[in-house]
Structure 1
Amino acid sequence: MKKKTGIVFFPAFDWAISPTHPEREERLLYTRDQIFEEGILDLPEIEEFPPRLASLHDIARVHFCVPDVSAQVLEAHRIAAGSAMSLGEKVLNGQLKNGFALVRPPGHHAMRVVHGNRGFCSINNEAILVDYLRRTYGLKRIAIVDTDVHHGDGTQDIFYHDPDVLFISFHQDGRTIYPGTGFTYELGGPGAYATTLNIPLPPGVTDTGLHYVVDNLILPILKDWQPDFVVNSAGQDNHFTDPLGQMLISAQGYARLTEKLKPDLAVLEGGYAIESALPYVNLAILLALAGKDYTSVVEPGYYPHRYQENPKVFDQVQRVVEELNEIWQGRHKVDPLSLTNGNKIYQRNKPIYYDTQFIEEKQIERVYNCPQCPGNLTIDSQAYHPDGKRYHILAITIPFQACKSCQEEGWHIYEQYKQDYRFNYVYLQDKSTDTFMMFQREEQKEVRSDG
């Protein structure tokens, strides 16, 4: 018997930024109605599964939530992440061919440090899924392909220094849309050069330009990379009716993308044309995952002759593809030390704005270059929360691939900075042993969590 495509619906009825916000439960309710009307869940190739909760430790494995996970994460967030994890497990256990997590809230703008909600996101569903699968199943190489109209800056931030996670994002050019990032020169840290690849596209790209990118850049790179698992951050706001984007992709364009990409798991991200796009795009993606004919799925108002690629737009698409192909082909010739000017520490100063809660974060990120492993990462982060309290935290990450020396040094840094009165919280993520530590200065309290 052929393996099925799994699906989880989680509309998060009890969670909303506001009653009229674009990111609301109707995003999934219209899709569910459409799928029921078409009888899709009666197909033998598709099976629905219930949602499940991610644990607090699953979240702490990825995020430094300030002051702690329970303060930043609601049950709805845990269910959205847990549902993706559940489908990922079933794929790797051989129970499913692939899956589609139709869940909200979305997550790809949530970064490693979480002071609040930004870009409608509090925790990163795909990153939690990826690190859970790595820890549980020992996967070595994972690819995340983000197809949202907005740059997946949170996912990029989390995996920017990880050589075993390939992050590819195509999106509308950041000069024209939130969050203003995702340019071709953002390529990953010194130990993970060119495992971050951004494809900024001009407004007005149609199915033609999108599939030029897929055929001439994304698919050849994935063939080179040979990932053990492919995740699609399935944002659907590139659709021609979406109110937040300026792209011209159709439901058919998305379905063909899915058919070519063959992701092991698709996880819903953005998409805010609640009636005119999401029911049709989600249906087409689901059919493509299940290997069924999707050519009859056509949204109202789509007339192909109206959406012809502008030659100037297509020229820009071709130039971006050519530039990134050159970078990918030459990636092994780049000396990591040249990216740090010969220094042992790679440092980035990052201002981060939480647009939902108006939080301004100042962050200093440092990575310790190691010839044996990706090296430890520390983040010095400061922000005022809506309650008026100032948080100054230090976060330390020991990577999955850490050598013994870096693991010992990471614990030493944690113990050292517990004595530093500048920081009211000090955190340690030891991914090599699946251990999380948090020291709270005010109460002189330490919390430990083990996987």
Structure 2
Amino acid sequence: MLTAKNSLGVVFFPAFDWAIEATHPEREERLLYTQDQLKEEGLFDIEGVVEYKPEVATRQDVERVHFCLPSVETVATKSHMISAGGAIKAARLVMDGEMDRAFALVRPPGHHAMKVVEGNRGFCNINIEAVMLEWIREHYGPKRVAIIDTDCHHGDGTQDIYWHDPNTLFISLHQDGRTLYPGTGFPDELGGPNALGRTLNIPLPPRTGDEGFLYVVENCILPILKDFKPDLVINSAGQDNHFTDPITNMNFSAQGYARLNELLKPDLAVLEGGYAIQGALPYVNLGICLAMAGVDYSHVREPDFDPARIRQDVRTMDFIKKVCEMTTRHYFRPPAAPTDGDVVNGWHSRMKDVYYDTDGISESQVESVSLCSDCAGVRKIEVWSSISPLSLCIEIPQTACDRCLGLGKRVLEEGHTKGNYRIIQCINRKEKEYTQFGF
């Protein structure tokens, strides 16, 4: 019998009752083939690898992270709450020491869900990694965390949530946004004024293969992680970089995904995208599980794997090396100030327009953050959309200094007395108060 070098908990939830459409790429079959493959290959016969059922996230778990307009219930279905609860279950296994590592094989996914949520965009309603991470911080105290997003699409939602957080390092490696949804994730997107260099984007050319992805990990991401010294590493484990994926243009393999996780050594992994439900996901998920468990994965092969056919061009590697050099420079020597937005009276503000491609919602925001050298600062968002009137959203961070705690409370009070807002929401992480007022 094989024994896992690292005990691994696998949390499984295929969400039988949720799909955008019956034939949509994001549907329950995404995980049913994987479930069969893992059992047929005897993954759970390995000593130290155990399957678990998910928990159900609570309303407050979501409210720690998101401003849901008009409410959590209008944005998230029961399947979304169970998917987020599956990620929380994975975190509980690791944080309580029951397992060394855990992989939440759950859907619906979440990395396109931003700080403000009014509907579905990029197949995502709530950001399950962020719900998981803030659950960890709520129950185990402030943590220094690195999130490595390996989905083929830029993790714009996770980036938006942690844009102002100096204690969260977010790195996204993805297909170049000039060629793929959501059209963002460029090297100059580096975080807000209190967290410059804590957001890093590594756009990769179409048809990047194993060689390119693993070069990025070994020569760019690992040196940065060594310097950042996170308490936890999370892999936002999208699998649509695979060479058979129907909606992307990359050439990554199951062996490459396994090696990537062997190098990253994530404490937690959470499934994101990946839509080649028969030819890729069962093999990629198996490879990731074996790599996280420290078990040999050299036998894992897709049925149509042909290394020669998917080998990347030499020019692709030249481009990747330049992007890695730029990313390393941005982390170790970030600019003194953001290139976007304006500073007025101690607040840095920027305009944002967000489109919910699945639900057809157009949203506009004025996002401001208080400049602070002691904490992440108070975040204030004035938001309106094609379905919602003007609303005010305020976040006081968990590690808020006394000045920012007082400032956040004043902004809330002024919103009540002077503002013309239909809804006011406040996330007060410092005092664990989550409030909403509707007018």
Asked if TM exceeds 0.5, the reply is yes
**Separation (CA, whole Å) in 2 of partners of 1:24 and 1:249:** 22
Aligned partner of 1:93 in structure 2 is: 96
1:164 aligns with 2:167: yes
2: CA distance, partners of 1:374 / 1:241: 41
Contact 2:6/2:293 (8 A) holds in 1: no
1:198 aligns with 2:183: no
Task: Please state if 1:58 is matched with 2:61.
Answer: yes
Read off the aligned partner of 1:367 and give its amino acid letter: V
The equivalent of 1:155 in structure 2 is 158
Q: Is the 8 A contact 1:108 1:126 kept in 2?
A: yes
The one-letter code sitting in structure 2 at the alignment partner of 1:64 is: F
Deviation at 1:384, TM superposition (A): 2.2
Match of 2:305 in 1: 302
Between the aligned partners of 1:214 and 1:18, the Cα distance in structure 2 is 36
Are 1:391 and 2:395 matched, yes or no?
A: no
The Cα offsets for residues 127-170 of structure 1, whole Å up to 9 and x where unpaired, read as 01111111111143000000000000000000000000000000
Give the Cα–Cα distance (whole angstroms) in 1 for the partners of residues 301 and 6 of structure 2. 27
In structure 1, the residue matched to 2:371 is: 369
Alignment match of 1:351 (pick from 338, 350, 353): 353
- 1:329 pairs, out of 327, 332, 346, with 332
- For residues 157 and 338 of structure 2, the distance between their equivalents in structure 1, rounded to whole angstroms, comes to 25
Q: State the TM-score, normalized to the length of structure 2.
A: 0.97
Q: What is the identity, as a one-letter code, of the residue corresponding to 1:362?
A: S
Aligned residue number for residue 379 of structure 1: 381
Q: CA shift at 1:372, angstroms?
A: 2.6
Q: Determine the C-alpha separation between the residues in 2 that align with 1:73 and 1:299.
A: 35
Identity %: 51
Cα distance change on mapping 1:292 and 1:123 into 2, 3 Å:
same
Change (3 A) 1:371 1:288: closer
Distance 1:378 1:372 in 2: 18
**Structure 2 CA distance for aligned equivalents of residues 224 and 4 of structure 1:** 27
Structure 1 residue 440 and structure 2 residue 432: aligned? no
Match of 2:414 in 1: 416
In structure 2, the partner of 1:444 is none
Give the superposed CA RMSD: 1.5
Change (3 A) 1:24 1:340: closer
* Residue among 113, 118, 127 paired with 2:116: 113
Between the aligned partners of 2:172 and 2:82, the Cα distance in structure 1 is: 25
Residue number in structure 1 paired with 2:276 = 273
Greater CA drift, 70-79 or 265-274: 70-79
**Structure 2 gap segments, 5+ residues each:** none
Alpha-carbon distance in 1 for matches of 2:6, 2:96: 11
| Other-structure match for 1:428 | 426
* Kept in 2: contact 1:143–1:229 (CA 8 A): yes
The yes-or-no answer on 1:41 pairing with 2:44 is: yes
In the TM superposition, 1:183-222 aligns within 5 A as: 183-222=186-225
Cα distance per residue 1:379-424 (max 9 Å; x no partner): 0110123xxxx33210000111111121122112112112345310
Q: Render the CA deviation track for 1:213-257: whole Å, top value 9, x for unaligned.
A: 011000110111110011100000000000111000000000000
Specify whether residues 341 and 25 from structure 1 end up closer, same or farther in structure 2 by C-alpha distance, changes over 3 A only: closer
Question: When the two structures are aligned, how many residues end up with a matched partner?
Answer: 435
State the Cα deviation string for residues 242-284 of structure 1 (Å, max 9, x = none). 0111000000000000000000010000000011100000011
Give structure 1 stretches of 5+ with no counterpart: 442-451
**Alignment check: 8 A CA contact 2:149 2:238 kept:** yes
The aligned residue for residue 317 of structure 2 is: 314
Summarize deviations over 1:184-208 as a string: whole Å, max 9, x none.
0000001000000000001010100
